[in-house]
Amino acid sequence: MAIKKVLKYGEKSLREPSKEVHKVSRKITDLVNDLLDTMYAQNGVGLAAPQIGVNYRVFVIDVSSNNEPLNPIVFINPKIIKKSGAIVSNEGCLSFPEAYTDVRRYKNVMVKAMDAHGRNFTLEAKDGCLLARAIQHEFDHLNGVLFIDHCINRFETENVLKKFNLPPIEVEKLISEPELEKELND
C-alpha cells in the first residue's frame, strides 16, 4: 500500500490510548498493509498504528531473521491474557531513532487477538524471546505507553535520549513494576 511517516517521540498521539476496531473493514486492511510496508521499509520488528498517527488497536510484528522468509503477524484488538517471569531487555523503537535502553519485560506472554481477516487467535511467546518482548512493546503503544516508561535506569535513559536529541523522560509516566523488580532481584 504505502510507506507512512513514523511519528517521533514527543508527538502527542503516541501518548493517546487507541480505539477498538469494531469491524475488519477495507480501512483496517489498508492500515495493516501500510503498517507492514512501513515496518519493512524501516527494518523494524514491529509497528503499532499510533506510530503512524492512527489510534486504532492494531499492530504488526515480524521476527523473522535475514535468511528466513517474511512471517508477518497481525494483531487487531489484542489482549494479553497471561504473563509470567521477568527479564531485562535492551530495546529500541522506530519512534526513537537509534536510541536503545534496558527495560523490564515479562519473560512469557499469551495474547488473544484478531488477524487481518477478523479471525480470533491465541499466541504464546516464551523464554523472553524477541516475539514475547515485541508483543509487549507494541501492545504498550496501543495504550499510550512507551518502552522508556519501563526503563531500568532513568538517568542512563535520559542520557541516551539527550544524545539523540529526543525529549526527556516524562517522569510521571514511569511505570512502577514491583512484581518484575522482585523477580529480577531474586
Question: Which three cell numbers, joined as nine digits, stand for 3?
Answer: 510507506
- pLDDT tens per residue across all 186 residues of the chain: 699 999 999 999 999 999 999 999 999 999 999 999 999 999 999 999 999 999 999 999 999 988 889 999 999 999 999 999 999 999 999 999 999 999 999 999 999 999 999 999 999 999 999 999 999 999 999 999 999 999 999 999 999 999 999 999 999 999 998 888 888 887
CATH code: domain of residue 119: 3.90.45.10
As annotated, the active-site residues are 138
Q: Could you tell me which of 156, 157, 163, 111 has the C-alpha nearest to residue 133? A: 111
Domain range enclosing 101: 12-185
Specify if 119 maps to a domain: yes
Specify if 49 maps to a domain: yes
Please say whether the dihedral angle defined by the alpha carbons of residues 93, 98, 104 and 109, taken in this order, is positive or negative.
positive
Specify if 98 maps to a domain: yes
Note if the pTM is more than 0.85. Answer: yes
Specify if 36 maps to a domain: yes
Q: For 77, left (φ over 0), alpha (ψ -120 to 50), or beta?
A: left
Specify if 7 maps to a domain: no
DSSP symbol at 151: B
Specify if 56 maps to a domain: yes
H helix intervals, 10-153: 26-41, 130-142
pLDDT of residue 153: 94
Q: For the chain, what is the domain count?
A: 1
Question: Which three cell numbers, joined as nine digits, stand for 18?
Answer: 487507541
pLDDT of residue 181: 85
